[in-house]
Amino acid sequence: MDVLIGGGAGLAVTWYTGAGATALLLGATRWRHLWFATAPLMGFCLIVIASSWLNTLAAPMTVAVWIILAAATAVNLLAVARKANVPRPGGASLAVSAIVVGGYLLSAAPLLLLGSPAALTGSQWDAHLYLGISDYLKNYAIEIGRAHV
């Protein structure tokens, strides 16, 4: 249950972070009806990019989170002030959201049935990804200037 609450909170934060930027970018374009479905994706991209830059240049993640949320609030207020032409979610937007959630649940069903939180948190994937690379480097590494025999 804690994993579901955490996943819901993560979805809410990504949606909040991307809502204003998506509304401003889509504005009066023909794609504006997809605003509701694309806001979490925009928020995720913004969080990843901003946290990477903030962690590299200025602040630890505990501080970067608050900076990102403050910036998202400012962008959301700007979207409201400009009265971005964003329709209520309907037909196509809800259909796209349902397809995305359905596809995710179908692909994560085996892990969810086993009771593994990895389906929602992505835990332990680094070990699987980098184990092969580290084995290769240990077995076939060469030193600069001379070959390892």
Helix (H, G, I), strand (E, B) or coil at 146: strand
How far is Cα 87 from Cα 79, in angstroms, rounded to an integer?
A: 13
Is 137 buried (19+), middle (13-18) or exposed (0-12) by CB count in 10 A? Answer: exposed
The pLDDT, as a whole number, for residue 74 is: 92
The H-assigned helical ranges of 82-147 are: 91-113, 118-121, 125-140
pLDDT higher than threshold 60 for residue 147: no
Per-residue pLDDT tens over the stretch 108-142: 777 777 766 665 555 555 665 666 677 777 777 66
CA atoms within 13 A on the CB side of 98: 7
The confidence score (pLDDT) of residue 118 equals: 63
Determine the pLDDT at residue 2. 63
pTM metric for this prediction: 0.57
More confident residue, 24 or 96: 24
DSSP-assigned beta bridge partners for residue 146: 143
Specify the higher pLDDT residue, 101 or 18: 18
**How far is it, in rounded angstroms, from Cα 64 to Cα 57?**
11
